[in-house]
Amino acid sequence: MIFTETGLAGAFIVDIERREDERGFFARSWCGEEFGARGLNPRVVQCSVSFNARKGTLRGMHYQAKPYEEAKLVRCTMGSLCDVIVDLRPDSRTFARHLTAVLTAENRRMLYVPEGFAHGFITLEDATEVFYQISEAYAPEAQRGFRWNDPAFGIVWPAEVRVISDRDRSYPDFRG
* Distance of alpha carbon 163 from alpha carbon 56, whole angstroms: 6
Considering 98, 132, 138, 171, which one is annotated as catalytic?
132
Strand order in the sheet with 72-78: 2-5, 12-15, 110-113, 72-78, 128-134, 46-52
Considering 62, 63, 98, 171, which one is annotated as catalytic?
62
Whether 132 is catalytic: yes
Q: Could you give the residue numbers annotated as active site?
A: 62, 132
